[in-house]
Chains A and B, each alone.
Chain A
Amino acid sequence: MDQFIQSILLPGLSQGAIYGLIAVAFAVLHLTTGVINFGHGQLVVLAPIIILLSAAAGVPVWLAFLLGFAALLIAALVTEVVAIRPFVQSGSAVSWILSTFGVSIVLTEILAIPAGGEATYFPFGIPSDPFTLWGFRVSWAELSTLPALLLVAVLLTVFYRATRVGRELRAVGEDVQGAEALGISRARASQITVLISALIAAVTGFLVASSQILLPNLGIFFLFYGFVAVSMGGMNSILGAVIGGLVVGLVSQATAVYIGPLYGNLAVFTLLVLVYVVRPHGLFGARPVREV
Chain B
Amino acid sequence: MARFHENLRTGTYAVQDVARRGLDRVLDRLPAPVRRVAVMPSVQGLVLVAVALAILLVTGPLSYPAYVVLLICVYLISVYGVNVTIGFSGVLSLGQGAAFAVGAYVAGILAGTYMWPIWLTLPLALLSGLAVGVLVGLPAGRLAALGLAMLSLGTVLVVSDMLVALDDITRGHSGISGITPFLSFDPDSYVLWEWFVPLLILGVAFLAFWFHARYRTSRLGRATAAVRDEPIGASAVGIGGYITKVAAFAVGSGMGGLAGALFAYLSVYISPDAFLPSLSILFLVMAVLGGLGSQLGPLVGVIILVIVPLMLAPFPHVNIIVYGVLLVLLMRLRPRGIFSRTAAAADPVRESLAIDSAGPTVAADADPGGQADGAVDASGTPGDVVLRAEDVKRSFGGLKAVDGVTLEVRAGEILGLIGPNGSGKTTMLNIIGGYYRPSSGTVWLEGVDVSRSRPQESARRGIARTFQTPKTFTGMSIDEHIEIAVQRQLDASPQRVAACRAAARALLVAGGLNPDDLRVGRRESRFLGHGQLRFLEAAMAIARCPKVLLLDEPAAGLSASEIETLENIVKDVARAGVAVIIVEHHLEMVSRLVDRIVVLDLGRVLWEGHPDDLHDAEAVRAAYMGTV
Residues of B within 8 A of A292 (CB): 232, 430, 435-436, 467
In the assembled complex, the Cα of A262 lies from the Cα of B139 at a distance in Å of 25
* Residue of B149, B150, B320, B435 touching A105 (CB-CB under 8 A): B320
A273–B321 touching, CB < 8 Å: no
Most A CB contacts (10 A, CB to CB) among B288, B331, B435 go to: B331
Residue of A whose beta carbon sits closest to that of B163: A262
In the assembled complex, the Cα of A220 lies from the Cα of B143 at a distance in Å of 21
B147-162 vs A, Cβ < 8 Å mask (1 yes, 0 no): 1011101110110011
A231–B147 touching, CB < 8 Å: yes
B92 to chain A, nearest CB (A): 5
Residues of B within 8 A of A178 (CB): none
Whether B90 is near chain A, meaning CB under 8 Å from some CB there, is yes
Residue of B whose beta carbon sits closest to that of A86: B332
Whether A181 is near chain B, meaning CB under 8 Å from some CB there, is no
Residues of B within 8 A of A112 (CB): 317
Residues of A within 8 A of B86 (CB): 94
In the assembled complex, the Cα of A94 lies from the Cα of B144 at a distance in Å of 10
In the assembled complex, the Cα of A272 lies from the Cα of B332 at a distance in Å of 31
* Residue of B144, B281, B331, B435 touching A95 (CB-CB under 8 A): B331
B150–A231 touching, CB < 8 Å: yes
In the assembled complex, the Cα of A268 lies from the Cα of B153 at a distance in Å of 12
Residues of B within 8 A of A269 (CB): 151, 154-155, 157-158
Residue of A whose beta carbon sits closest to that of B327: A102
Residue of A whose beta carbon sits closest to that of B426: A292
Residue of B whose beta carbon sits closest to that of A262: B165
B80-113 vs A, Cβ < 8 Å mask (1 yes, 0 no): 0000001000101010000000000000000000
Residues of B within 8 A of A109 (CB): 317, 320-321, 324
Residue of B whose beta carbon sits closest to that of A106: B324
Whether B623 is near chain A, meaning CB under 8 Å from some CB there, is no
B606 to chain A, nearest CB (A): 24
A105–B335 touching, CB < 8 Å: no
Whether A61 is near chain B, meaning CB under 8 Å from some CB there, is no
Whether B27 is near chain A, meaning CB under 8 Å from some CB there, is no
A97–B326 touching, CB < 8 Å: no
B151–A273 touching, CB < 8 Å: yes
A26-48 vs B, Cβ < 8 Å mask (1 yes, 0 no): 00000000001000000000000
Residues of A within 8 A of B323 (CB): 102, 105
In the assembled complex, the Cα of A260 lies from the Cα of B161 at a distance in Å of 11
Whether B145 is near chain A, meaning CB under 8 Å from some CB there, is yes
B324–A104 touching, CB < 8 Å: yes
A93-123 vs B, Cβ < 8 Å mask (1 yes, 0 no): 1111111011111111110110000000000
Given contacts A93-B145, A98-B288, A276-B139, contact A262 B331 (CB under 8 A): no
Whether B277 is near chain A, meaning CB under 8 Å from some CB there, is yes
Q: How large is the interface on B (under 10, 10 to 19, 20 to 34, 35 or more residues)?
A: 35 or more
B306-326 vs A, Cβ < 8 Å mask (1 yes, 0 no): 000000000001001101111
In the assembled complex, the Cα of A268 lies from the Cα of B157 at a distance in Å of 11
Whether B328 is near chain A, meaning CB under 8 Å from some CB there, is yes
Residues of B within 8 A of A86 (CB): 331-332
A102–B161 touching, CB < 8 Å: no
Whether B274 is near chain A, meaning CB under 8 Å from some CB there, is no
A260-292 vs B, Cβ < 8 Å mask (1 yes, 0 no): 101101101100110011001000000000001
Residues of A within 8 A of B335 (CB): 95
B121-160 vs A, Cβ < 8 Å mask (1 yes, 0 no): 0000000000000000001001111110111011101100
Whether A238 is near chain B, meaning CB under 8 Å from some CB there, is no
B325–A106 touching, CB < 8 Å: yes
Residue of A whose beta carbon sits closest to that of B236: A292
B321–A106 touching, CB < 8 Å: yes
Whether B164 is near chain A, meaning CB under 8 Å from some CB there, is yes
Residues of B within 8 A of A103 (CB): 324, 328
A142 to chain B, nearest CB (A): 25
Question: In A224-270, which residues have CB < 8 Å from any B CB?
Answer: 224, 227-228, 231, 260, 262-263, 265-266, 268-269
B232-245 vs A, Cβ < 8 Å mask (1 yes, 0 no): 10000000000000
A266–B161 touching, CB < 8 Å: yes
Residues of A within 8 A of B321 (CB): 105-106, 109-110
B328–A276 touching, CB < 8 Å: no
A102–B145 touching, CB < 8 Å: no
* Residue of B92, B157, B162 touching A224 (CB-CB under 8 A): B157
Residues of B within 8 A of A107 (CB): 324
Whether A83 is near chain B, meaning CB under 8 Å from some CB there, is yes
B327–A105 touching, CB < 8 Å: yes
Given contacts A102-B324, A109-B320, A265-B157, contact A272 B150 (CB under 8 A): yes
In the assembled complex, the Cα of A221 lies from the Cα of B160 at a distance in Å of 13
A272–B324 touching, CB < 8 Å: no
Residues of A within 8 A of B146 (CB): 36, 93, 97
Residues of A within 8 A of B92 (CB): 93-94, 97-98
Residue of A whose beta carbon sits closest to that of B92: A94
A266–B317 touching, CB < 8 Å: no
Residues of A within 8 A of B143 (CB): 276, 280
Most A CB contacts (10 A, CB to CB) among B320, B324, B335 go to: B324
Residue of B whose beta carbon sits closest to that of A288: B144
Question: In B246-291, which residues have CB < 8 Å from any A CB?
Answer: 277-278, 281, 284, 288
Whether A82 is near chain B, meaning CB under 8 Å from some CB there, is yes
B332–A113 touching, CB < 8 Å: no
Residues of B within 8 A of A113 (CB): 317
Residue of A whose beta carbon sits closest to that of B151: A272
In the assembled complex, the Cα of A117 lies from the Cα of B158 at a distance in Å of 20
B162–A266 touching, CB < 8 Å: yes
Residues of A within 8 A of B281 (CB): 101, 105
A105–B145 touching, CB < 8 Å: no
B326–A102 touching, CB < 8 Å: yes
Residues of A within 8 A of B144 (CB): 93
Most B CB contacts (10 A, CB to CB) among A102, A262, A280 go to: A102
Given contacts A82-B328, A101-B94, could you give 10 more A-B pairs where the C-beta distance is less than 8 Å?
A: A102-B325, A102-B331, A105-B281, A106-B324, A106-B328, A228-B154, A231-B150, A260-B165, A272-B151, A276-B139
**4 pairs of A and B residues whose beta carbons are closest in the complex:** A102-B327, A105-B324, A106-B324, A93-B145
18 contacts between A and B (CB under 8 A): A86-B331, A97-B145, A99-B328, A101-B94, A102-B325, A105-B278, A105-B281, A106-B324, A107-B324, A262-B161, A262-B164, A265-B157, A266-B161, A268-B154, A269-B154, A280-B142, A292-B435, A292-B436
What residues of chain A have their CB less than 8 Å away from a CB belonging to chain B?
36, 82-83, 86, 93-99, 101-110, 112-113, 220-221, 223-224, 227-228, 231, 260, 262-263, 265-266, 268-269, 272-273, 276-277, 280, 292
